[in-house]
């Protein structure tokens, strides 16, 4: 379900965006969030509105593309994995309709190949979930070539490994034997990992 770009929050419209915030230099503060995790997108939308953005939320690739076609935003935060496809399709459409727009891809399945693909398709940057509003805002406002501040709570090495295993498992159609073969891992070892909760 889509929500239309809203008006600025009372805090933002009252001029309480932090002084010196780079967003003040942008006349168009429209932001499209595309994510099918509704609790996450709702929290993020509120947090970004408090930072001065006019937010529109979509929950699928189809809704995201439709929103871009209707009114290409200046900024976008797009989940990589959506129920009806890949968020990169929304990034590609956004860059077609509004080349100067800044789009950030979010994913829990981070890997270098996907990051390179995202940037080639026009993503401004690539962040691994969980990413908070400050990190996302800082990335959207970064100057080209500027290095973003390191996250306060980055994924641990164990979590990165777990995410990679989960991604390969999904790509192998949840076939444990095939996943173990491709990861060069013993089947029982893989089963134990899959049975555990995700590490922090």
Instruction: Extract the runs of DSSP E, i.e. beta strands, from 48-96.
Output: 54-58, 75-79, 81-82, 85-86
In a domain, 151, yes or no: no
Q: Cα–Cα distance between 15 and 164 in angstroms, integer?
A: 43
64-108, pLDDT tens digit by residue? 999 999 999 999 999 988 889 888 899 999 999 999 999 998 876
Domain that includes residue 129, residue range: 30-141
**Residues 80 and 178 occupy one common structural domain:** no
24-61, pLDDT tens digit by residue? 667 899 999 999 989 999 999 999 999 999 999 999 99
Q: Can the peptide bond before residue 10 be classed as cis, meaning omega within 30 degrees of 0?
A: no
Q: How many domains does the chain have?
A: 2
**Residues 129 and 167 occupy one common structural domain:** no
**Residues 54 and 111 occupy one common structural domain:** yes
Residues 6+ apart with CB under 8 A from 140: 31, 75, 77, 102, 104, 124
In a domain, 44, yes or no: yes
Q: Cα–Cα distance between 20 and 17 in angstroms, integer?
A: 9
Three-state DSSP at 75 gives strand
Q: How distant, in Å, are the alpha carbons of 39, 56, 59, 178 from that of 3?
A: 14, 5, 10, 41
**Residues 135 and 61 occupy one common structural domain:** yes
CATH of the domain at 126: 3.40.50.2300
CATH of the domain at 175: 1.10.10.60
H/E stretch holding 91:
helix 88-97
**Closest by CA position to 136, among listed 24, 54, 33, 9:** 33
Give the residue, 87 or 115, on which the prediction is more confident: 87
**Residues 174 and 133 occupy one common structural domain:** no
In a domain, 25, yes or no: no
In a domain, 57, yes or no: yes
165 is written with which tokens?
Answer: 């295993």
């Amino acid at each position: 379900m889509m929500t239309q770009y809203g008006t600025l929050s009372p805090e933002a419209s009252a001029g309480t965006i932090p002084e010196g915030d780079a967003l003040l230099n942008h006349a168009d503060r429209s932001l499209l969030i595309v994510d099918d995790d509704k609790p996450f997108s709702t929290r993020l939308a509120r947090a970004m509105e408090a930072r001065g953005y006019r937010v529109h939320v979509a929950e699928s690739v189809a809704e995201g593309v439709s929103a871009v076609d209707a009114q290409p935003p200046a900024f976008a935060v797009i989940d990589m994995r959506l129920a009806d496809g890949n968020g990169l399709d929304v990034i590609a459409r956004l860059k077609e309709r509004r080349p100067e727009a800044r789009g950030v891809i979010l994913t829990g399945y981070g890997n270098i190949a996907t990051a390179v693909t995202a940037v080639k398709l026009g993503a401004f940057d690539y962040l691994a979930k969980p990413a908070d509003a400050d990190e996302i805002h800082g990335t959207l406002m970064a100057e080209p070539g500027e290095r973003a501040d390191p996250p306060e709570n980055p994924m641990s090495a164990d979590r990165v490994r777990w995410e990679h295993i989960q991604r390969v498992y999904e790509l192998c159609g949840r076939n444990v034997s095939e996943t173990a073969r491709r990861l060069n891992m013993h089947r029982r070892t893989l089963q134990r990992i899959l049975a555990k909760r995700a590490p922090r």
